[in-house]
Amino acid sequence: MIDARAAAVVAALAAVFAGSAACAQSCGADLVFPRVLESDRYVVAYRTLPSPVVAGEHFNVEFAVCPRGGARPPASVRVDASMPEHRHGMNYRPVVVAKGDGRYKAEGLMFHMSGRWEITFDLATPDGTVRLAGPLHIE
């Protein structure tokens, strides 16, 4: 049998985790077919334009950064990508444009070869840089 204090703790934890799941689902909800990356303090929802990305052609990334758990919005955001197996990155440095309300657009990315890439979002926060990364397979 569970006592009242233990039940209150379980209920509080359930509310925290439910709030985190809702944050992940709502972040970038207006983006068409977003991909979602999560840390304990931030959610990044993004999509590529065009989709799918084609090797050797420029593309953009639209994304939303959603703080969670009381985290403050990042002061700035940087987007990059690399091929871990080949130990190299892109030949282009994208420009990130803030659109307001946690929305951004990174312009001028290009994956110059097919294979497994890893896209990274570096969030400059008061506590240091938070990096969220996810794989993209390019044909």
* Longest CA–CA separation in the chain, Å: 62
Residue 105 lies in domain: 4-138
Instruction: Give strand pairing partners of 45.
Output: 36, 64
CA dihedral 71, 72, 74, 80 (to 10 degrees): 20
Q: Which of 87, 85, 79, 81 is nearest to 119 (CA)?
A: 81
Q: What is the pLDDT, as a whole number, of residue 25?
A: 62
- Residue 22: pLDDT band with limits 50, 70, 90: low
Measured between alpha carbons, how far is 66 from 61 in angstroms, rounded to an integer? 16
pLDDT-above-90 percentage for the chain: 73
| CATH of residue 85 | 2.60.40.1930
Q: Higher pLDDT residue, 6 or 88?
A: 88
What's the pTM value of the predicted model, to 2 decimals? Answer: 0.80
CB 109 within 8 A of CB 79: yes
The tally of CA atoms less than 13 A away on the side-chain side of residue 50 is 8
Rounded to an integer, what distance in angstroms lies between the CA atom of residue 139 and that of residue 135?
A: 13
Q: Please check the confidence at residue 4 and state whether its pLDDT lies above 90.
A: no
Domain count, the chain: 1
Residue of higher predicted confidence among 1 and 30: 30
